[in-house]
Structure 1
Amino acid sequence: MKTGPLVILMINMFIAMLGIGLIIPVLPKFMLEFGASGQALGYLVAAFGLTQFIFSPIAGELSDKYGRKNMIVSGLAAFTLSQFIFAVADQMWLLYLSRLIGGMGAAFMIPSMMAYVADITTDEARGKGMGLLGAAMSLGFVIGPGIGGFLAEYGLRVPFYVSAAVAFVSTVVSLIFLRETLSMEDQLAHRNSEKKRSNLFVQFGQSFKAAYLVPLILVFTLTFGLSNFEAIFGLFVDQKFGYTPKDIAILITVGALIGVIVQSFLIGRLLQRYGEKRLINISFFVSAVTMVLMLLSGNFWYVLAVTSIFFVFTSILRPSINTLLSKMAGKEQGFVAGMNNAYMSVGNIVGPSLAGILYDVHLNLPYLFGAFLLLFSLFLSVSWNRRTGGRAVTPAVQE
């Protein structure tokens, strides 16, 4: 595994996720300046996921045709522009434009980075590489809100100026120091391939027929369950247990940090010892159980333990599924990574939306439904494993 390029990728991923996290504590007050409604706020959050969903498969294919580096640098540049527009916006449509561009930037970055990791790692080291990249993603999410809240003390728009400046530096560093991993021969082969993926719907149709469909569905259900858990967590523990914002911050931060540690230092060993499929099954089961356990007690230490266990096993799930997918992708790393990100984007759109709807019906319903979906994922995974008979994974995309 080449550590130099991986470090650059981790920094890029961290910066991108940090910029996304910055918006969380600032956005409600920021929106007051525009007199926007809660519905407008919801649409603004969804705008990012929408363009990320639309462009992920396209960007994945482009990374196969024109190289990983070009897509990563383009994504960082788009993210820089997005944060700058948000910082200077004085009209609502500019905020929407910013979020749409940001989602597009994430679509170009994330699948290309995953494909890059697959290019520079062996099968044995790939789990560790994916785990480190996932850890950088998680760490950015974890500390982003805290940094955003701190910088907002100096001005409501300061977090976005700082994020834009750091993203710009990252763009320049990547442009200069990041080397392309896909040979020109492979790029030309993909450009000249007769297999055309003209639009998102065609690509989704192809994924439905491919051998890696079940892992992609698991990406969706994992993302749905995680975003479902996080979306209404603050409201849930506040209304049901009377927790303060400080309590909520401790619960999220501690749980997520433990997950980051697992992804950074343990995931490679776990994958080598137990294999992707077994880890996926165990993690789905434990994640589902912890969602139900969330409903049983309001004791702070109990909730901290349950939350931490949930984050640990969802942190194991992400690189496990990503590693399995990358092994099945063969030479189609960019396309499969793009579809991976597209399924993840759908989960990020649907999960929070449905969680909010169910929460209005009864505050326990989001967690009960989330547990049901994760158990269904376990059933789907076990059934798929039995059908494949434990055979070694092979490239799934047919030329």
Structure 2
Amino acid sequence: MAESLRRGPFYILLVAVFLGMLGLGIVLPLLPVFVEEFNASPFWVGALFAGYGLSRIIFTPSIGSLSDKYGRKWFITGGLGLYTLVSIWYIFPGSIYELFVIRFIHGIASALISSVAMSYVGDLTPKGQEGLYQGRLSNVFYLGMGSGPIIGGAIYSVAGFTPVFIVMAIMSFIPFLLCIRMLPESKPEFRTPPKLWSAFCHPRMQANLFFRFMNTFAYSAFMVFIPVLAATQYGYSTTLTGLVIAFEVFSMAISLGYFGKMADSGRYKRSHMIVIGTLLVSFGTLALIFVKFLPVVGIVAILIGVGNAIAIVAATAVVAIDGRELGQGVVMGAFNTAMSIGIVVPPLIFGVILTFWGIDAVFLIAGLITLASLPFFWWLVLRSRKWFATRAAACEPGS
């Protein structure tokens, strides 16, 4: 596809993803407030976040495969429309259980957008620029996600719940209209229909899927439980809590483009980038237990964001390469499913830990689990390299 033809759909996707994620991020600082309003157990802080991930586990794989078969546009558009409706529903939950249902449907909307948008970008990406294109998409993804908590926390502090979700609905409705009118269809052609399990059985994909799942332990601790830590240990308002979340997300968003180019340069092994990024994330997560002064907390949050940027953009670039063989919708669906499982499992575990051992234990265990995942990840990397070497040797003339 010529560069001029790529550029239009790509920029439309960037705007749509940014505004959609802006609306999604608005709700994050308010989950503990919802739990307190319903006089529910602290366990529900993790459960509400997990409800969002549970629906992504169920629907993301099939949505990715279906987008390979039927095209991308209307999955993305439908997800943005569902975002809009769910945003209004947040104003009227009658119980903590109804709020869980809202979060579940919110996850369906996210499944319709995130992996399909990544697949669409994979369709547009020239060979050798996987890190650059996926980095730019991730950049606006996290810029929107980072702006949301600041806006949501500030609006709630000034005006309460209802205006927060009205803004959230508007931020979803604008890209919904934009995609209907301006986003062309992208429907790749395959000689044989892509199969989801081919992604889960692929050795290099297995290494990246394992990384993506384990990365969510630190991610869940920060995004779900930093409001609890900020309120109980730091004494922060919802506005300051949103600011801390934004430090992490903005630092990640701003640096994704740079690290995407680094991943494409050929001078650095992407597997090494994943290891280095994971080390930064794990040590940053552990450090949150010991710091309380806002500027120091902000520095630690930035460290975590940069670590996530280094690791995630490298892994996503490799997944986009494998998508040329296996199907972009299939590999991005599998990659996002691994993340979605991580969105469900760690928050539930951390909800129990919070109830029995307190908030410090959540960040201690999250940091240690992330760190302990690296040896097995590296074993998977070495195994995939051996598999590729064997396959290459089998394809040589005379072999």
Pairs within 5 Å for 1:7-86: 7-27=11-31, 43-86=47-90
Corresponding residue of 1:351: 346
1:289-343 C-alpha deviation (Å, 9 max, x unpaired): 3333344454554433332212111122122111111212224110111111111
Instruction: Say if 2:302 is the partner of 1:308.
Output: yes
The answer to whether structure 1 residue 380 and structure 2 residue 376 are counterparts is yes
- Aligned residue for 1:209? 201
1:116 aligns with 2:111: no
Please give the residue correspondences for 1:1-399 in structure 2 after superposition, counting only pairs within 5 Å.
2-27=6-31, 43-87=47-91, 95-152=99-156, 153-154=158-159, 156-183=161-188, 185-186=189-190, 189=191, 193=193, 203=197, 207-211=199-203, 212-236=205-229, 239-240=232-233, 242-245=234-237, 248-272=241-265, 273-331=267-325, 332-359=327-354, 360-389=356-385
Evaluate the alpha carbon distance shift between residue 268 and residue 392 of structure 1 in structure 2; reply closer, same or farther with a 3 A threshold.
farther
Cα displacement (A) at 1:281: 1.6
In 2 relative to 1, CA 28–340 (structure 1 residues): closer, same or farther, beyond 3 Å? same
SS of aligned partner of 2:129:
helix
- Cα separation, partners in 2 of 1:26 and 1:50, compared to 1, 3 Å: same
Cα separation, 1, equivalents of 2:350 and 2:236: 21
Aligned partners of 1:44 and 1:99 also within 8 Å = yes
Paired residue type of 2:255: V
Q: Could you tell me whether the CA contact under 8 Å between 2:273 and 2:314 is conserved in 1?
A: yes
Query: Which residue identity does 2:382 align to in structure 1?
Result: R
Q: Deviations over 1:82-109 (max 9, x none)?
A: 2233345567776444333221111111
Q: Within 1, Cα distance between the matches of 2:143 and 2:223? A: 15
Change (3 A) 1:288 1:333: same
RMSD between aligned residues: 3.1
User: Is the Cα–Cα contact under 8 Å of residues 117 and 130 in structure 1 kept in the other structure?
Assistant: yes
- Whole-Å separation in 1 of the counterparts to 2:390 and 2:293: 44
Q: TM-score, normalised by structure 2?
A: 0.83
- Structure 1 residues 372, 95: closer, same or farther in 2, change over 3 A? closer
User: Cα deviation per residue 1:43-67 (whole Å; 9 max; x = unaligned)?
Assistant: 4443222111110001001011101
TM-superposed deviation, 1:271: 4.1
The percent identity for this pair of structures is 27
Q: 1:244 to 1:264 in 2, by over 3 A?
A: same
Q: Out of 38-47 and 10-19, give the one that drifted further.
A: 38-47
Deviations 1:91-136 (A, max 9, x none): 7776444333221111111111111111111232221111121122
Partner of 1:200: none
Structure 2: unaligned runs, 5 residues or longer: 393-399
Give the corresponding residue for 2:395: none
Q: For 1:182, what is the secondary structure of its paired residue?
A: coil
Distance in 1 of aligned mates of 2:45 and 2:383: 44
Q: CA separation in 2, counterparts of 1:56 and 1:352?
A: 19
State the shift of 1:208 in Å: 4.6
Quote the offset at 1:385 in angstroms: 2.9
Q: Which stretch of the first structure deviates more once superposed, 53-62 or 40-49? A: 40-49
| Partner secondary structure for residue 274 of structure 1 | coil
Residue 347 of structure 1 deviates from its aligned partner by: 0.8
Greater displacement, 361-370 / 209-218: 361-370
Measure the CA separation in 2 of the matches of 1:367 and 1:125. Answer: 36
Is the Cα contact below 8 Å between 2:29 and 2:227 reproduced in 1?
no
Q: Deviations over 1:20-47 (max 9, x none)?
A: 2222344555567767665666544432
Letter aligned with residue 335 of structure 2: N
Can you give the 5+ residue segments of structure 1 that lack an aligned partner in the other structure? 198-202
Against the structure 1 CA distance between its residues 90 and 320, is the aligned structure 2 distance closer, same or farther, given a 3 Å change threshold? same
- Please say if residues 121 and 129 of structure 1, whose CA atoms lie closer than 8 Å, have aligned partners that are also in contact: yes
Q: Aligned partners of 2:248 and 2:232: how far apart in 1?
A: 20
Q: Aligned residues, how many?
A: 381
Deviates more, 1:296-305 or 1:216-225: 296-305
Over 3 Å counting, the alpha-carbon distance change for 1:236 and 1:392 in structure 2 is: farther
Describe the shift of the 1:96–1:394 C-alpha distance in structure 2 as closer, same or farther (beyond 3 A): farther
Q: TM-score, normalised by structure 1?
A: 0.83
Amino acid of the structure 2 residue aligned with 1:127: G
1:306–1:174 CA distance, 2 compared to 1 (3 A): same
Superposed CA offset, 1:206-231 (max 9, x none): 65532211210111011222112333
Following the alignment from structure 2 to structure 1, what is the Cα–Cα distance between the partners of residues 180 and 391?
33
Could you say if the C-alpha distance between residues 275 and 306 of structure 1 is closer, same or farther in structure 2, counting changes exceeding 3 Å? same
Against the structure 1 CA distance between its residues 282 and 163, is the aligned structure 2 distance closer, same or farther, given a 3 Å change threshold?
A: same
